[in-house]
Amino acid sequence: MLVVGIAAFLGLLAAFAMVDVEALSSAPTSAGSYIFWACVTVDSWCWCVVMLYVGMRFLNFSNQWMRYGQEAILPFYVLHQPVIFAIAFYVVQWQASVTIKMLAVVAAFVVSIGLYELIIRRLGGLRVIFGVKAGQPDKTQVSTG
């Protein structure tokens, strides 16, 4: 998959170098645009499979960070989108550069982790609602305080 992914990526680079990118990124109307989108699909699929392999091969261990992440992932997954929307609703109205706005929205990551760590992880009822085992957090897990 790695070899096919690299080959498809090189094919995409060649397409970008030889053809008008805007014509390719519109709705497919020619054989060339169908080939381009086929390369995009194959490339994306191959890199996803390669990353899954890397994760299965090299992240097959456990430590305090992995245990913390396994417990935190579901509440983080549930929280991050509403937090991003709430922050972005106000940030897009700022008279600032796109870079500043993007950094402010990326700060939603910190807010989501903070909500999990300071509220959900500490309250048994919220732990259950967010899909984390009831009871107190494991003392061997990573402490942020």
Q: Which residue has the higher pLDDT, 32 or 87?
A: 87
Q: Is the pLDDT of residue 139 over 70?
A: no
Cα torsion at 117, 122, 123, 127 (round to 10°)? Answer: 60
Give the per-residue pLDDT at 132: 83
CB atoms within 10 A of CB 81: 11
Give the per-residue pLDDT at 145: 46
Q: What is the pTM of this model?
A: 0.60
Which amino acid, 129?
I
Please state the domain extents for the chain: 2-58, 64-129
Element (H, E) at 19: none
Q: Are 120 and 127 in contact (CB under 8 A)?
A: yes
Choose among 137, 144, 125, 119: nearest CA to 70. 137
Give the pLDDT confidence of 30-66 residue by residue, as tens digits.
777 777 788 888 999 999 999 999 999 988 888 998 8
Residue 77: half-sphere exposure toward Cβ, Cα within 13 Å? 9
d(CA 53, CA 64): 23
- End-to-end CA gap in the chain: 43
Most confident option among 45-54, 102-111, 118-127: 45-54
d(CA 39, CA 10): 10
- Residue 145, burial from CB neighbour count under 10 angstroms (0-12, 13-18, 19+): exposed
Q: Read off the tokens for 73.
A: 């992932």
